[in-house]
Structure 1
Amino acid sequence: MRVLYFAWLRQKVGLGEEEVAPPPEVRDVAGLIAWLSGRSPGHAAAFAQPRQVRCAVNQEFATPDAPVARGDEVAFFPPVTGG
């Protein structure tokens, strides 16, 4: 699974992207966030307030209950506002 980080999430994690192999019990975005949070202090800081994080799975906006699977591309980014 390819995980991409944007904006302040990238700064906190210290990576723009990484390849990960979560355990089989990680089946949705929320589970992936919980698992990623345990990978490093930077990951924990990035996901400390999960409501402040948006996600896309395979370039489609995704909710916390959206499924994730091996081979997916998952992107995490802050909310975007426009004017």
Structure 2
Amino acid sequence: MSITVRFFASIRERLGKAEDTIEYKGITTIADVWTKSAKIPMPDNVLAAINMEYARTDQPVRDGDEVAFFPPVTGGAP
């Protein structure tokens, strides 16, 4: 029973890892996933997704989910 965690862009660089697998036991929300895997306080502007769909950090997670964290997306043509 596990959750796959992926980190992208500057978050990956800051944490020094692109991926992690954590035990599902005791995990209830995306915020719990961050706490267990990143081991640092979650920045206010971090975006999250469960199974490739945007999600709030208080959203529940289930065994087998993939949770991704990435910085806000910026850019594009004016």
TM-score normalised by the chain length of structure 1: 0.76
CA separation in 2, counterparts of 1:18 and 1:31? 14
Give the structure with the larger helix fraction: 1
CA contact (8 A) 1:3 1:18 kept: yes
1:50 partner SS: coil
**Per-residue deviation at 1:49?**
4.4
Deviating above 3 A after TM superposition, structure 1's stretches of 4 or more consecutive aligned residues are: none
Give the structure with the larger strand fraction: 2
Q: What are the equivalent positions in structure 2 for 1:20-39 lying under 5 Å apart?
A: 20-24=22-26, 26-38=27-39
Larger gyration radius, structure 1 or structure 2: 2
**Per-residue deviation at 1:8?**
0.9
- The code of the aligned residue for 1:63 comes to R
**Per-residue deviation at 1:82?**
3.5
For these two proteins, the number of residue pairs brought into alignment is 74
CA separation in 1, counterparts of 2:32 and 2:18? 20
Question: Sequence identity of aligned pairs in percent?
Answer: 39
Corresponding residue number in structure 2 for 1:41: none
Corresponding residue number in structure 2 for 1:13: 15
CA contact (8 A) 2:34 2:42 kept: no
1:82 partner SS: coil
| Consecutive unaligned residues in structure 1, runs of 5 or more | 39-43
Q: Give the superposed CA RMSD.
A: 1.6
| Consecutive unaligned residues in structure 2, runs of 5 or more | none
TM-score normalised by the chain length of structure 2: 0.80
Is 1:80 the counterpart of 2:73? The answer is yes
